[in-house]
Amino acid sequence: MKFVVEHISKNSGRLGYLIQNESGKRYKTPLLLQVTKGGSIPYLSRDVFDRVTKDEQVLQLSLATMDHMSEALTEFKADGVNELSTYIGYKDYLTFLTIRDPCEKTPSRWNDKDVVPLFTRRGKIAITASKYMDLVEIFKPDIYQGLNDADTSWDSAKKRVQKSVDRTEQFMNYCCERQQQSSVLKGASFFAPVVGGYSIHARSQSIKHINTKSQCNGYIFEGFHNYGLTACEVRCDQLIPIVEHCIKELDFEKPKMLPGAYTPLVMVELINLGVDMFDSSYAYCAAINFKALAFTYTKQQQDDESGAGTPFIDLTDECLREEFVPLVKDCFCLACQQHTKAYMHHLYKTKELLGPILLMIHNLHHMMGFFATIRSTLLMNGLNDLIHLIKYQHGNKEVDYCITANTKVIKKEDLGNGFAKTKS
């Protein structure tokens, strides 16, 4: 993989593209990686995903959801070099292997001196640096991240943060040495993990160690949250000073990624700083909590006073039962073209699997449209105006994009009279 910076905005942010080594295909940045579970887009078959977008995407594969496939992949042989993408049914797609599932909260306080806990469908597994690189060589992704201790968050103690940095350095030493010696990973790109919680000093220590490694092709920021909905709770004022400081110390010409379900406002603020890659876990977290993304991101939507004006539509809301209109006006996704809010609310109340399927279709379409707008806005040097629009939408008060877990439970006896609220 090769990364090229194509345009630097006069105000902030940058445009670029990733180039796949074998095919020469280009993927424009800022880029939204498509999160997968077990190698599949959540809730969507390949045929359905092809109706969401005709463009090839970069797939983010997490070891936490794919570790059980290692034995089968060892025996799998495909024509050409993209065995992993062929195996999961997305032949020739660019693949990025990460450690943790960004859609699910990772339990804390399970770290040990020489291992990293991996929480999989088979339970907790202890991964050493050697075992991790064995798995990477089996999967043979186009891009993969270095093993790291990222068990830190806003309230982590100084001692925990320092352990995170020290253990990650230890893992990095082994991963870089193995990368250099491996013939299997000769064409793979290595993203170095930048850790250190919310400590500028610890982050600088992590970067100083990374800068001694010539194997690094990019950077991935870890340790700001524990994934799942905890990423939605990260605020701009907490994150921006740390990321801004780190970017100044990192190589400008290498791509930078922040995994996790960050809110659209946080994403666009980080793009403003020079971050290039995110993932679609926010769209997934919204879908499984019955929320349809509806925030405004274009001037046309802003000028339309009938627009939603809210970050998302809560499909559990009883007032939608007679709303026979699309989720978002003028949205061209399959869900909005064929179905209404009332029908989507009905699917929720009857617990039909079609509900989250249609929500994933809409939410992914909405997020991909959002990123397309970001790229066009950067080209016109207008990102600051987009940030203001995302931040305030149709009013003067800052919009809250944080997703809360759905705690409403439907019982059979409630189907005709609304539903009961209970604590999860």
Residue 117 preceded by cis peptide, ω within 30 = no
419 has a pLDDT exceeding 60: no
* Residues that constitute the known binding site for Zn(2+): 331, 333, 336, 362
Q: What does the block give as tokens for 291? A: 């929320």
Binding site feature residues: 331, 333, 336, 362
Identify the three-state secondary structure at position 308: coil
Please state, rounded to an integer, the average pLDDT across all residues of the chain.
90
DSSP element (H, E) containing 279: strand 277-279
- Rounded to whole angstroms, the Cα distance separating 362 from 313 reads 12
Q: What is the pLDDT of residue 301?
A: 59
Whether the pLDDT of residue 352 is over 60: the answer is yes
Instruction: Read off the pLDDT of residues 37-69 as tens digits, 9 standing for 90 and up.
Output: 999 999 999 999 999 998 889 999 999 999 999
pLDDT at 378: 94
* Whole-number pLDDT of residue 416: 46
Per-residue pLDDT of 161-207, as tens digits, reads 999 999 999 999 999 999 999 999 988 999 999 999 999 999 999 99
**Tokens read off for 178:** 């193995």
Homologous superfamily of the 2-286 domain (CATH): Queuine tRNA-ribosyltransferase-like (3.20.20.105)
Give the Cα-Cα-Cα angle 117, 121, 126 (nearest 5 degrees).
Answer: 20
Closest CA to 226 of 163, 158, 151: 151
Q: Residue 2 in contact with residue 19, Cβ under 8 Å?
A: yes
Three-class SS of 164-228: HHHHHHHHHHHHHHHHHHCCCCCCCEEEEEECCCCCHHHHHHHHHHHCCCCCEEEEEECCCCCCH
Query: Residues 177-183: contacts with CB within 8 Å, 24+ apart?
Result: 178/129, 178/130, 178/133, 179/133, 179/215, 180/215, 182/133, 182/137
Distances (CA, A) of 281 to 129, 192, 364, 423: 26, 21, 10, 24
Q: How far is CA 53 from CA 3, 191, 213, 365, in A?
A: 23, 27, 38, 8
Sign of CA dihedral 182, 183, 185, 189: positive
**Per-residue buried b or exposed e for 373-382, using 16+ beta carbons within 10 Å of the residue's own CB:** bbbebbeeee
Q: Kindly indicate the confidence band of residue 366, based on its pLDDT and cuts at 50, 70 and 90.
A: very high
pLDDT of residue 56: 86
Residue 122: band (very low, low, confident or very high) from pLDDT cuts 50, 70, 90: confident
Domain ranges of the chain: 2-286, 291-392
Give the rounded distance of the alpha carbon of 156 from its chain centre.
23
Query: Would the pTM of this model clear 0.85, i.e. be above it?
Result: yes
User: Distance of alpha carbon 153 from its chain centroid, rounded?
Assistant: 17
| pLDDT mean over 113-118 | 90
- Which pLDDT score, from 0 to 100, does residue 20 have? 87
Least confident window among 111-120, 143-152, 245-254, 295-304: 295-304
pLDDT at 424 over 80: no
DSSP, collapsed to helix, strand or coil, labels residue 366 as helix
Q: What does the pLDDT look like over 375-391, one tens digit per residue?
A: 999 999 999 999 999 99
279, 355, 407 from 420: Cα distances, Å: 34, 19, 10
Count other Cβ atoms within 10 Å, centred on residue 215. Answer: 17
Alpha helices in 88-142 (DSSP H): 129-139
Separation CA 281–CA 262 (nearest Å): 8
